[in-house]
Every structure is written in structure tokens, then in C-alpha cells.
Amino acid sequence: MADTRVQHQVENWVRGHLNEVLAESFSLRSVALMSGGQFEFDLVNADGSLVGCISTSGLKTSGGKRGAGKIHKIFADMFFLSLAVGATRHMLVFTEETMYDAIKRQQRDGRVPSTFELRHVELPEDLHEQLVDARRRASKEVSKTTAVEELPDDVLLPGSKS
């Protein structure tokens, strides 16, 4: 199973960075939705008037294709942002410039509300490298091209005992 510790470290770093840059305190918090449910947002200010999501995804998949699922995830986040009770500001924060640019283009083309604040936050180099490495490991874990040598013998040879 993919290790998400680096992802959480990145989100914590981004929250701390935005606390300084925007001179406001942000936390990870569940917020009531107009539809009756709850959603845990990556960024919620003290009075709940600003809610946001942090994306650490790049635009491309490990295979070099445009990550349609990654884009859909951001649009799902926007849906929940728009349902947040008491929120008057909605923010999407991107750690990867490729994804920020793609969503910014969507906004220019009228497919993302102009009221949504889009921000690109550049990570410190060491943290970015850890994130890229974690993504690489997670991608390898779910890749269709897992090498036969990496599979346990009992998967390859029915009835064999390890």
C-alpha cells in the first residue's frame, strides 16, 4: 500500500507557508456541506470563510499521458468547495506548475469559476524530491508492468510454498 506520509508533510508545509504568506491561520478540518454531509478540506481558515484543497499531482501520468483522473479529482474537489457551508472564498493550491497551468487554462476558458482562487506554491527542493520519489514508488506499486521477478513464487507457481 502506498505510503502517504510525504503527502501529509507536503500539505502541512503548504498550510504553514500560506499561514505566513496570507497572514492567516489555516488548518485541515471537516466542514458541513449544503447537501447535508461533511468534507475534510486541506485548508480552512479560522472562521471557515475560506476553504481550499491542495493538489500535489502533476499533469502527466508516469506513462507520460495527460492524467484525466487527476483532472477529474480537482473538479470533484471544486464541487465540494462550492458546497461548503459558510465559505465565501474558495482556493485551489497546486504544488506542481504543470497542473496549475492546466487548471488556469480551464479557468480562462470558462470551465472553472473565476471566483476560485488558484495558487501555485513552490516546494523546497528536498521536499519536492521526496514527493516525486513517493509518487514514483506508488506508481510502480500499481503499474501493469510489474516485473515477474518481483512477484512472490506462490503467485507464479500454484501450490508452491515460500
pLDDT surpassing 80 at residue 106: yes
Paired strand residues for 66: 60
If phi over 0 gives left and psi between -120 and 50 gives alpha, with beta otherwise, what is residue 23? left
Task: Count other Cβ atoms within 10 Å, centred on residue 65.
Answer: 9
Residue with the bigger pLDDT between 45 and 158: it is 45
Instruction: List, for residues 41-74, the tens digit of each pLDDT value.
Output: 999 999 999 999 999 988 876 677 777 888 999 9
> Cell 458546497, residue?
83
Residue with the bigger pLDDT between 27 and 58: it is 27
Residue with the bigger pLDDT between 72 and 151: it is 72
Give me the pLDDT at residue 93, please. Answer: 98
| Percent with pLDDT over 70 in the chain | 81
> Cell 510502480, residue?
140
Q: What stretch of H or E contains 154? A: helix 153-156
Give me the pLDDT at residue 97, please. Answer: 95
The mean of the pLDDT values for the chain is 87
Q: In sequence order, which residues have a C-beta less than 8 Å from that of residue 141 and are 6 or more positions away? A: 1, 2
Give me the pLDDT at residue 159, please. Answer: 54
Q: Which of 112, 138, 149 is nearest to 58 (CA)?
A: 138
What is the 8-class DSSP label of residue 115?
T
Q: pLDDT band at residue 162, thresholds of 50, 70 and 90?
A: very low
pLDDT surpassing 80 at residue 141: no
| Domains with residue ranges and CATH for the chain | 5-156 (3.40.1350)
Give me the pLDDT at residue 144, please. Answer: 57
Rounded Cα distance, 130 and 108, in Å: 32
Q: Kindly state the cell numbers that stand for 150.
A: 518481483
- The amino acid present at 50, given as its one-letter code, is L
